[in-house]
Amino acid sequence: MARWEPNARERLERAALALFAERGYDATTVNEIADRAGLTKSTFFRHYADKREVLFGGQDMLAQRFSDAIRASAPTATIAACLAAALDSAAPAFTPERHDLALQRRALIAATCELRERELLKRAGLSSAIADALRARGADDTTAHLASELGVLAFSTAFARWAEPENRQPYTEIAHTALRDLQARAAALGAEPDVRA
């Protein structure tokens, strides 16, 4: 029946999301996901390394985009400008059609510790992609670390705000606001007097 029909990955993702929404993540079996997609468990694990991974399909592409955007920035660009470019490069993932999907996904992740853990791993992947790209531009290690954390923080707060049900603001606007906000707080923190005796 469904065998040999195209888009196995997408079918699996759709089936998983639907079942997770119906019964929750834990109560859903990989077998059930594969069944609904007209496939088998074997095939599921051929497309996704994990049961978790089915919810994080595009995440690795994001790291690539961030990295590319920073490496494509002008050599004279400030670090903040690089971060802004990175955030902008993620914009294609935030179309209005995906809004409801993102909402649903966020609820799932928030409800399941296992998924939150995986999300942190993906975030760490984004962070090191940014840090590597910044180091490649000559940034020192400490700056690269701090800036990448700041960038990821801006990204995730921007994503969270964008995904809110009542939000109608475009992603790039939110992201720039978040980044500028964090930059201002960083300045304030950095301006505090030295602590040690």
User: Which residues of the shown chain bind DNA in the complex (CB under 7 A)?
Assistant: 2-4, 8, 28-31, 34, 38-43, 45-47, 49-52
Q: Where are the alpha helices (DSSP H) in 24-140?
A: 30-36, 41-47, 59-71, 79-89, 98-111, 113-136
Q: Counting contacts by CB under 8 A, is residue 157 touching a copy of itself?
A: yes
Work out what residue 197 binds among a copy of itself, DNA, none; the CB cut-off runs from 5 to 8 Å by kind. none
Shortest Å distance, C-beta 194 to a copy of itself: 7
| 180 CB-near residues (< 8 Å, 6+ apart) | none
Q: Alpha carbon of 18 to those of 11, 61, 82, 159: distances in Å?
A: 11, 23, 37, 22
Shortest Å distance, C-beta 10 to a copy of itself: 26
Q: Alpha carbon of 131 to those of 100, 113, 155: distances in Å?
A: 31, 27, 14
Q: Counting contacts by CB under 8 A, is residue 189 touching a copy of itself?
A: yes
Tell me how far apart the alpha carbons of residues 85 and 155 are, in angstroms, rounded to a whole number. Answer: 12
Q: Of 100 and 117, which has the nearer Cβ to a copy of itself?
A: 117
Tell me how far apart the alpha carbons of residues 168 and 162 are, in angstroms, rounded to a whole number. Answer: 8
Q: Return the ∠ at Cα 64 (arms to 61 and 68), rounded to 5°.
A: 140
Binding segment (CB under 8 A) for a copy of itself, from list 3-11, 53-61, 118-126, 129-137? 118-126
Residues 59 to 88: which contact a copy of itself by CB under 8 A?
A: 78-81, 84
| 16 CB-near residues (< 8 Å, 6+ apart) | 28, 33, 54, 55
Q: Counting contacts by CB under 8 A, is residue 128 touching a copy of itself?
A: no
Shortest Å distance, C-beta 8 to DNA: 3
First to last CA, the chain: 74
Question: Given candidates 33, 147, 163, 174, which one binds a copy of itself under the rule CB under 8 A?
Answer: 147
Shortest Å distance, C-beta 31 to DNA: 6
Element (H, E) at 88: helix 79-89
Work out what residue 47 binds among a copy of itself, DNA, none; the CB cut-off runs from 5 to 8 Å by kind. DNA
**Footprint of a copy of itself on this chain (CB under 8 A)?**
78-81, 84, 113, 116-118, 120-121, 123-124, 142-143, 145-147, 149-150, 153, 157, 176, 179-196
